[in-house]
Structure 1
Amino acid sequence: MKKITDKVGSKICRDTDFLTRLNGVVWDDDLEPGEFEEKWLKVMNDFSLEDNTWLNGKFADRHTWIPAYFRNVPMGGLLRTTQRSESANSFFKRFENKYGTLTEFLVRYESATDHQKHLLKLREEENANSIPETLYGSKWETQAVRSYTHAMFYEFQNQVKLSINTCSLVGYTPPNPVTNFEVSLVEDAKKGLKFAVECSRSMNDVRCTCKMFERRGILCSHIIWVCSGKFKDIPDKYILQRWRKNALKSDVYDWNGNLLEKYNNTSTKQIGMSVVWSEIQLTVGMLKRKEESDVREFAKLIKEFRTKLEGNTQPLTKQQQIELLLSARFGRNQHLTA
């Protein structure tokens, strides 16, 4: 697509909406292959480019690079043709240059991998010891913030936002045995687009014709809008292991099934402590939108349990109560002086 201007001429790209229309066709991953072909040919006809040899060659190879042809490939929405090589090149260029010796390369390669491991450790600590703020109070959002890494939670939260603010029902078929809904976002409705959501409560099974889950591994706003009120929790199969906070906490195998690295399991107590901090932080975040009486009740519950652990029957001082609340809020002990 970066070569378009050179291949068709700068005038047509500068003076018309050709580039806008072509980009809209090429990168629209909601199109089925047949729809893509129809729209591509219309753009070519409208701008008299039917005989352009280079464009015709790209159209002949469309199944190798157009997103519409990867809609049914699991996680196909994450694929980029040069992603593996370009991302590696970009990373190592920060540590190496073409004038270095082989010995220097080995040393700098070690530095680069150490840097990667350090960043990974920082992300793991961030995901283990902090929780993003939930904004909409839905049960699905609360479950997602416990399960997803921060980055994936924000993507999911954006889908929740779209489902609340822009989704609308445009059709409905009673269950037999699957309930079918036709859903559209505001912007999609303007384009005449609508997506069918199939929902089977008995099998905890949901599907949408936009195929976002199949392409990117995260539920779309259409499914969230239809099913968040029908299912108490997100079905476990729709929170992929690769996006979870504990994604790396498993043994590593090669393609032949040989064990490469055994995960050193964290103790049950450590896991339990992480769960405790997670629950406290999540609860404190929810209290921001609740009444003052709820805050006092939460503080009382924690204070009573702490008193029990200390074997102290005396009520906590005001200073101790403040320390306790700060501890719950920030996820670590706060030692304050009077």
Structure 2
Amino acid sequence: MEKFELQDNTWLNDMYSIRTEWIPAYFNDTPMSGLLRTTSRSESTNSFFQHFQNSGDTLTQFYSRYESAIEKQRYINSKNNTASELIPITHTPLKIEKDAAQLYTRSLYNFVREEILNAIHFTKIEEMSTVQGIKHLKVKDKLMKDCFFEVSVRLLDNNVDCSCKFFARTGFLCRHAFAALHNCEATLIPRQFVLQRWMRNADNIDNGLVPPELKNQCSKVHRIKAKFSEMWFDFQSCMNYVGFDEVKVDDMHGRVRKLKADVQGSEYELREQPLTNDVDRLYDINLRESVVVQNPNISRNKGTRKRLRSGKEIAINEKPDKRRTCSICNKKDGHNARSCPLSK
């Protein structure tokens, strides 16, 4: 602000006065692992679905391609779950890396393994002291231009705290913490630093998507949708337990077909109201009310404005014509008085 003489700018002064509310450096102590901005969420969704949809699709085409996109997401999720069931080969003989391979999913294990390798090759403990059962270490990080970080380890339960606050931002330990744990001869990752969302069996542990204290406050439709999600995750967990055992697969298939027949029989016996009433109950909409739908306002689509030209293109178009002018015809056609057609 001083460099560009903006001290009197009202907006910049207001933003500077509330800098503790929007600058990420002020949130180092706040757990932000997995934080997703609203713009990132919408942009990632648009980036995924734009490979399936076209601007001129009909409603039927949109629904069909939307189902294809959802099936692809389910396939990727199933593929990742299968990959996470296999324990990867470790790169070091350290027991703490073997523990990480057994705990984390395949994708997160790659990040944790990189931090463990960096702790071995690019960190160095300069100072160390023990006070009241807590070991204080001063770790030099070669990857951060030899910066020093303060790490404290409680020897009773290997509770580690690093000044870089990497765990609060990402959800897994940093290389400084792994260097300190290795110095303390820790063979396992402290379980208080293993978040459930990164574990290989996360979907088998937590099937309830809605907290129990909030379920009673939701509407009936929302509760039913939450139960649908819980049933889906329960069924997926059962399929993961079955695996590729043919006997268990046949038994599971028989149970599902029997359950399907029972559900269909009870549904056909109890169904007395038309389908429109089911739609009303599902979406809380009274379809019998008259609704007047107006055509939307016509708006210009993206890309209809003039193309932005680069500086090079503008300079080429505005470049003066340096060709010679004929003294006979006064034209710049690339000839002179000797070769002018009028002189012949």
| Structure 2 residue corresponding to 1:166, chosen from 111, 117, 122 | 122
One-letter amino acid of the counterpart of residue 166, structure 1: F
Larger radius of gyration: 2
Tell me the equivalent position of 1:220. Answer: 174
Contact kept in structure 2, 1:201 and 1:231, CA below 8 Å? no
Once the two structures are superposed, the pairs formed by residues 61-210 of structure 1 within 5 Å of their partners are 62-63=19-20, 65-76=22-33, 78-80=35-37, 82-129=39-86, 131-190=87-146, 193-210=147-164
CA distance in 2, matches of 1:254, 1:161: 38
Tell me the equivalent position of 1:237. Answer: 192
List runs of 5+ in structure 1 lacking aligned partners: 1-43, 274-338
Once the two structures are superposed, the pairs formed by residues 186-335 of structure 1 within 5 Å of their partners are 186-190=142-146, 193-228=147-182, 229-249=184-204, 250-254=206-210, 256-257=214-215, 260=227, 261-262=230-231, 263-264=234-235, 265-266=237-238
Q: Residue 242 of structure 1: SS of its match in structure 2?
A: helix
Residue 184 to residue 98, structure 1, CA distance change in 2 (3 Å): same
One-letter amino acid of the counterpart of residue 194, structure 2: I
Tell me the equivalent position of 1:51. Answer: 6
Q: Residue 96 of structure 1: SS of its match in structure 2?
A: coil
More helix, by proportion: 1
List runs of 5+ in structure 2 lacking aligned partners: 216-222, 246-344
One-letter amino acid of the counterpart of residue 100, structure 2: A
Q: Post-superposition shift, 1:253?
A: 2.2
Residue deviations 1:53-108 (CA, integer Å, cap 9, x gap) = 57666645644543213322212574445211111111111111222233332222
One-letter amino acid of the counterpart of residue 106, structure 2: H
Q: Post-superposition shift, 1:161?
A: 1.1
CA distance in 2, matches of 1:149, 1:115: 20
Residue 78 to residue 123, structure 1, CA distance change in 2 (3 Å): same
CA distance in 2, matches of 1:268, 1:241: 18
Percent identity, aligned pairs only, is 32
Contact kept in structure 2, 1:132 and 1:150, CA below 8 Å? yes
One-letter amino acid of the counterpart of residue 240, structure 1: L
Q: Residue 248 of structure 1: SS of its match in structure 2?
A: helix
Q: Post-superposition shift, 1:136?
A: 1.5
Q: Residue 194 of structure 1: SS of its match in structure 2?
A: strand
CA distance in 2, matches of 1:99, 1:64: 43
CA distance in 2, matches of 1:236, 1:107: 45
Contact kept in structure 1, 2:97 and 2:113, CA below 8 Å? yes
Residue 142 to residue 166, structure 1, CA distance change in 2 (3 Å): same
Q: Residue 137 of structure 1: SS of its match in structure 2?
A: coil
One-letter amino acid of the counterpart of residue 175, structure 1: V
Contact kept in structure 2, 1:63 and 1:69, CA below 8 Å? yes
Q: Report which structure shows greater RCO (CA 8 Å, sep ≥6).
A: 1
Contact kept in structure 1, 2:158 and 2:181, CA below 8 Å? no
TM-score by length of 2: 0.58
User: Over the residues paired in the alignment, what is the CA RMSD in angstroms?
Assistant: 2.8
TM-score by length of 1: 0.59
